[in-house]
Structure 1
Amino acid sequence: MPTGDLETGSERLREVLETPRRAFIPLPDTQVVERPGWLQLITPSLRQGGLNEVAFSALDENEADAVIDETLETYRRLGLRFRWTVGPDCRPADLAERLARRGLRRSETLGMIRETAAAPAEAASDVTVEQVDESTVEEFSRTMAAGWEMDPEPITAFNRLVLTHPGRRHRLFLARYRGVPAGTAGLVTFERSVYLLSGVVLPAFRKRGLYRALVNARLGYAAGQDIPFATSHARSSTSAPLLERLGFETLCRFEVFSND
């Protein structure tokens, strides 16, 4: 794949690994805990996930266990579903093993990238994808909540904030199958890339081209905004093989831990 305006492999890796850490929109109760070597989000109003994560952790080897235990206790005390991303730039070297020993569920994630310039393939005639606005945000949120098995009320409140947030870096997309809401996805725009996130298709509608259509719609949006690259953090067991078939290249592999 040509490198475009990301001239070196290290620049492309930073775009895949570091840039998405700034993809969040904080809610009024979100605590952003940031210091050298640490970025963490705590959002009590989203108990079932979202805006509750350790996005980056470069810890001193001798202090890591204490920090891990304190962090886990914070989320446990608040009753929050959370995730902890252990990227290739996290420390100490055995951070993943330390988290696994505490009983967190681990999944392999691929940091992926592709150019947006190529024209996306047409969706199947039964599939349509639309950008979400105020008139469809509730429908989108109910579909998203069903796909991720979450309470729709806080998700709806968050998505309304996304639509009205100053600067509007986020875009939401709703896929329909024969007019029925069947899948959702989002993106966050940055200067040189869009970050694809939260793609989900309801079980009854899978293997009908909806995931592909959601990816292609977002690639088309990015190309229309002259944003040259799309990135994603994709689970190796679910979305990564689909993205690979759609032209995404894997730049790194890392692990994400969660308490669900």
Structure 2
Amino acid sequence: MEQAAALAAFDAQLRNVVRPTLDGGRFERAGSVIRCLSADQDGWSGVEWSDLDETTADDVIAEQIGYFRAHDRDFEWKYYAYDRPDDLPERLLKAGLIPGEEEALMVADVADVPEIPAPEGIRLVTVSDEDGLRQVKAVHDKVFGGDHGPMIDSMRERIPSGAVAPVLALAGDEAVCAARVDFHVGTDFASLWGGGTLPEWRGKGIYRALVSLRTRLAAERGYRYLRTDALPTSRPILEKLGFVRLTTTVPYTLPG
């Protein structure tokens, strides 16, 4: 995979573009930013892309804070390490936004990801019914904490169009790992999210097998690239599967 070309494609197709959202929100270009206002109070709202410099950054940050506050939305400024100006993180902090954990933007060419079978005793399935969604929610609630009902509602709405494919790893009838792949229509990219495995089932190769399954689903639909935002725990696994770290990203959020 040619890394510079992959990053340029990511920026042009998924960041610097007004596109449909995955949960019913609305992206729009507002001067030097592209932002999303979710239709749902619990959905994702935030700034996806910006083109700022030292003379404009502070005013634009203040404008976005005012915009989202006026719409009664918490929001996230999705900062990538190549965004400008160089001191944008410091400016976001000064404006009151709080940084989250740094993640790696990791991308793989679909053709480079090996096919990995499920471990013995594990069955991998694609979810399309209410029972499967219930199991996906149960795994996410246990692994990540909180209530993932809004995420499940979004998946339920998008499954019929083929925009998302939730997947499960089952040991007998027990769901032990859950994830999803989002298909960005009109782009070269499919995105991998989730991948939560119950603690007692970790280290058995289940997560790797679900990455491989989602890769096959993306390949069947003609996508070239897979992308994900990876925490340190999953980066070594993804690198062994052909993923390359292109840059880093940090979510800056403004508390309500």
TM-score computed with the length of structure 1 as normaliser: 0.78
Q: How does 1:32-181 map to 2 (within 5 A)?
A: 32-43=27-38, 45-47=40-42, 50-72=43-65, 82-101=75-94, 102=96, 104-117=98-111, 118-135=113-130, 136-165=132-161, 168-181=162-175
Change (3 A) 1:213 1:79: farther
CA displacement at 1:171 relative to structure 2: 1.8
Change (3 A) 1:204 1:62: farther
**SS of the residue aligned with 1:19?**
helix
Letter in 2 for 1:65: D
For 1:155 and 1:98, the matched residues in 2 are separated by: 31
For 2:176 and 2:69, the matched residues in 1 are separated by: 33
**SS of the residue aligned with 1:107?**
coil
Unmatched segments (≥5 aa) in structure 1 = none
Q: How many residues of Structure 1 are paired with residues of Structure 2 in the alignment?
A: 247
Find 2:220's aligned residue among 195, 199, 224.
224
For 2:84 and 2:163, the matched residues in 1 are separated by: 30
Kindly provide the CA deviation profile for residues 187-206 of structure 1, in whole angstroms up to 9, marking residues without a partner as x. 23354332222332344433
**SS of the residue aligned with 2:204?**
coil
Letter in 1 for 2:85: P
Across the aligned residues of Structure 1 and Structure 2, the Cα RMSD in angstroms comes to 3.0
**SS of the residue aligned with 1:217?**
helix
For 1:244 and 1:83, the matched residues in 2 are separated by: 27
For 1:146 and 1:56, the matched residues in 2 are separated by: 33
Corresponding position: 1:192 with 2:188 = yes
Letter in 1 for 2:30: R
TM-score computed with the length of structure 2 as normaliser: 0.79
Corresponding position: 1:24 with 2:4 = no
CA displacement at 1:215 relative to structure 2: 0.8
Change (3 A) 1:239 1:100: farther
For 2:20 and 2:127, the matched residues in 1 are separated by: 18
Unmatched segments (≥5 aa) in structure 2 = none
Kindly provide the CA deviation profile for residues 148-179 of structure 1, in whole angstroms up to 9, marking residues without a partner as x. 433243223211111134xx232221222443
| CA contact 1:105–1:259 (8 Å) conserved in 2 | no
Change (3 A) 1:103 1:195: closer
Q: How does 1:198-209 map to 2 (within 5 A)?
A: 198-209=194-205
**SS of the residue aligned with 1:122?**
coil
